[in-house]
Structure formats: C-alpha cells, structure tokens
C-alpha cells in the first residue's frame, strides 16, 4: 500500500514538472506606435513617455532641433512630449501622432519657453 502511495506521489510530481512547461508565457502589455516631433532651431530639453510600466519619462538634454522619435507606448497611458527651450530662446513646436494619426501640436516661444503635447492611447489598433 505504501509503495502504491509513493508511486502516485511521484507520478503527480512528475506531471507537475511536465505541466509547468506547457503554461502560457505572460503577455507583454499591449502597445501602440507613438511619434513625437519637435521642430524649430537651436537647442532644447525634451521629455517624452515611451514603453515604461511605471510611466516615467525619458529626458534628453541639449537636443539640437529638429528632433523626432517613434516609440511603443502602453495602452491606457497618456503619451506626452514636452519641450523646454534654453536661455537663448527661439521658437519650437511639438507634435504628437498616435498610430500615424496627428493628435496635437503646441508651440514654445522665447527664453525658457515651454510646450507640451499629449494624447490618449486607446485599444483598437490591432497592435501589441
């Protein structure tokens, strides 16, 4: 009787080990393509949201304009690009496109001028 119980336990453990390999891998969060663009002349600090689970922004300093970046942004997050002109001033415009569709444009002017463009990434593009 003890031998039968031992074989049954070993069989269950073996099945559990085999079964572990058949479990589906966790899927990555669905995303959509987002294109950020800053036009103008001079240098600026640019911050933008990319594929980040914690929602932190990426900051690039002393960027020579014009600048463009395409990233994958998670659904349900608000992709945002912000531009801050340096002390020399000037003029710059940020634009945001989600899945190739223009969403917003804003302009920064003068010394330390600021502009922010944001949008919403909704499901429904078949991307991921």
**Each residue of 36-56: pLDDT tens digit?**
999 998 899 999 987 665 667
**125 with 99: CB under 8 angstroms?**
yes
Identify the CATH class of 31-118: mainly beta
**Each residue of 52-85: pLDDT tens digit?**
656 678 999 999 999 999 998 888 888 999 999 9
**Up-side HSE of residue 111: CA atoms within 13 Å toward CB?**
2
């Amino acid at each position: 009787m003890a031998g039968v119980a031992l074989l049954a336990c070993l069989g269950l453990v073996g099945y559990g080990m085999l079964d572990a390999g058949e479990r589906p891998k966790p899927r990555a969060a669905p995303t959509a393509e987002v294109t950020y663009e800053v036009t103008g002349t001079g240098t600026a600090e640019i911050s933008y949201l990319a594929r980040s689970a914690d929602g932190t922004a990426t900051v690039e300093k002393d960027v020579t304009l014009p600048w463009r970046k395409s990233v994958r942004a998670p659904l349900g997050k608000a992709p945002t690009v912000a531009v801050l002109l340096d002390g020399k001033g000037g003029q710059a415009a940020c634009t945001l496109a989600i899945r190739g569709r223009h969403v917003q444009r804003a302009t920064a002017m003068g010394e330390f001028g600021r502009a922010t463009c944001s949008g919403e990434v909704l499901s429904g593009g078949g991307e991921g």
